[in-house]
Structure 1
Amino acid sequence: MPASLIERLLKGDLSSALELTLNELQDELPGVVQGLFWVRTGPNHFNLGAARGVPEAVLEGREEVLESALRSAYLGPLEGWLGGVAQVDHRPHPLTRLLGVQPAEAQEAPANLILPLAVDRQVWAVLHLHATAQQLDPAAVGWVGRFVSSIAPILYEVYLRERAERQSLWLSAINTLLQASSEQPLEVVLRDALEEASRLSGAEGARLIAFEGHAIRTIAQAGWGAGLAVEAAITRQLGQRVRSGQQVGIPRYDLYPGRRPELVEAGLRSLFIFPIQRHSNEASALLLFSTQRHWLPNTQIQELLGDMAAAIGVVRVERALRRELAWAAYTDPLTGLGNRRAFERDLEQLTARINGRTVVLMLLDLDEFKAINDNYGHVHADHLLVRLGGCCGPGPGPVTGPTAWAGMSSR
């Protein structure tokens, strides 16, 4: 293999390397009408990595197939599939069997070559060539096998590198989210996370939504669609599926039966909803969308989105716990007023910014409160304290809220 070809393969991304490989195959075998590369993106899913000679309209929205479908199109034995042995057949076009579409076929005695690329008995990519039977004779098939075998390690290296880089970018975004300062407003933290999720997934906009009864509330948003009620695209049926933990993908929202005309008119074309694992009674989800038809994240991106969604759930729970702890640390649980710690904090803050003004401290004492407690019991005494606390509210200007100083000691 020429060193220049190796350099070109390693220089670009996987899609470029696969297209370059298809070009080399077609240059050597001019009778090849079409070529396709399928690449593993998950445990059971493959995405179209590159295609030559097939109109984009034929493949639009059909870029993902199951491994079982690819395996059924391969007529050879399982050992041949796992061992990367090329198989030639004269059946209908592979795309007809895989996707139910009918691309242009070779005019005379068409033939198909299917070659799985495997490492350690796991297929990571599949090559499909469609040509005339004369062009795919045993000599040509042997050459294709040798050429692909020589180039496969390089393609696999690019494949692993791209997956690692993509995963690294997602992990970096997730770590940034988890390590965000508690001083930074939660809305800003979530917005930054949504911007990263949108960018890394290829979406144009993202939202974090919460289900509240039959209503949907937007918690944070980023990207395209600001000011647009994109959450209105979630019908009651879709909402029920998401609440039950199902992912929902709509590649052509403009053709969806429950579409909202105003959203279609605004440009919404693709929609993906990822439920977030519940940490409380609240049901929430990530909503990603695009103005491009047939945009949906592939299986690997969906797994990484799951990690991002889990991190968002953790951050929201952590912030909620911090708020609860802060409230408990500075609040009298009976009256809801500030406690002694709150009084000391407020007094320190107030005296630190006197600037020549006078600070006045007012104390309110309940006479004969112990008699109420003794004669009528704790319940009535507590009720009196709660009522009193409700009457004591912060006044205008630089006035701190009231605090419960004595608490239970008054009894």
Structure 2
Amino acid sequence: MHAWPASEVPALPGKGRDLRIHDTATGGRITLDPGPVARIYVCGITPYDATHMGHAATYNAFDLVQRVWLDTKRQVHYVQNVTDVDDPLLERAVRDGEDWTELAERETALFREDMTALRMLPPKHYVGAVEAIPGIVPLVERLLDAGAAYELDGDVYFSVESDPHFGGVSHLDAEAMRLLSAERGGDPERPGKKNPLDPMLWMGAREGEPSWDGGRLGDGRPGWHIECVAIALEHLGMGFDVQGGGSDLAFPHHEMGASHAQALTGAYPFAQAYVHAGMVALDGEKMSKSKGNLVFVSALRRDGVDPAAIRLSLLAHHYRSDWEWTDQVLADAVARLDRWRAAVSRPDGPSADALVEEVRAALADDLDSPAALAAVDRWAGAQTSGGGTDEGAPGVVSRTVDALLGVAL
């Protein structure tokens, strides 16, 4: 599966700072110290709807991670999946009387268009669940052989008790896990499971649903968590730098994925840091497909909203905060974009040397994008009130905003 085209990232003078970021597993900030190649895996969409603002906020956060790393002169090995076969996708296709593969392909294509418009840097490997199945089956077989998985009426489940580190990502108690498992695709009430929390690794073929040859597993399709594990292990290996996604993925998805990988390899940890973005709400409720309260990036673009303004609306909120999308949020972003573009359009201005370091420092401090925006606001305000005589300053500001914030002025 192909990703989307990359926008050019301008090179800035000097060198950026190492990233200090909040790690869900430790509950505090850690300083990431990747080698020459930083490795990041971000969980992708289930393509039964287009990119909404919650998606955009999540991918914006991890785009900032990439940009901070690139500014430290590292290479970035970024991997993202597409869950292009799953219950919600199949249910939507049945509801709309549409072939599920056509639905997935159309929405994935629209997602690529949205990411391109928002200047999100693309992954090096963009992998669909369906194309990953040949690599998933052997992993499930290995877990069975190791006694870390078991069969139940034609399905295969992972035993959470096989990983001594289970629970180390989310740190939730068993009851909280059980409730979230039921809400987020698990089946804790199914009879016959060794532990109610055990997640499915391989779903045996169901009538009327797609299935693939699973060898000795029988025909079927993969569970949600093992999909990401197979892709991450193949392209990044154990101990990669950042596992990313929305805060609703901490449990069960990232918890289960970590345990799958740790049981498979005997190594720990699956990722050095688990980084989670906050949720975006509309009318007081989390923006989600199940609630139908979505604001789509593609719809805003069709209405003529500049993608740079959409991106600025995301950057105005700290990536870990939960916030609400309103018309005022967008209006503020449009006004800010206009001010910035007017400021950099002048032939000279106040020195921007300090600004570059302010933006770097803000982003290195747990991706504090509101502080980075405030620094640019101050420069633009100084430009408006009195300007300056540094002929290179507007260009430096424009390149800084582009390279570190992904906004083209």
What's the TM-score once normalised by structure 2's chain length?
A: 0.21
What's the TM-score once normalised by structure 1's chain length?
A: 0.21
The structure having more radius of gyration, on CA atoms, is: 1
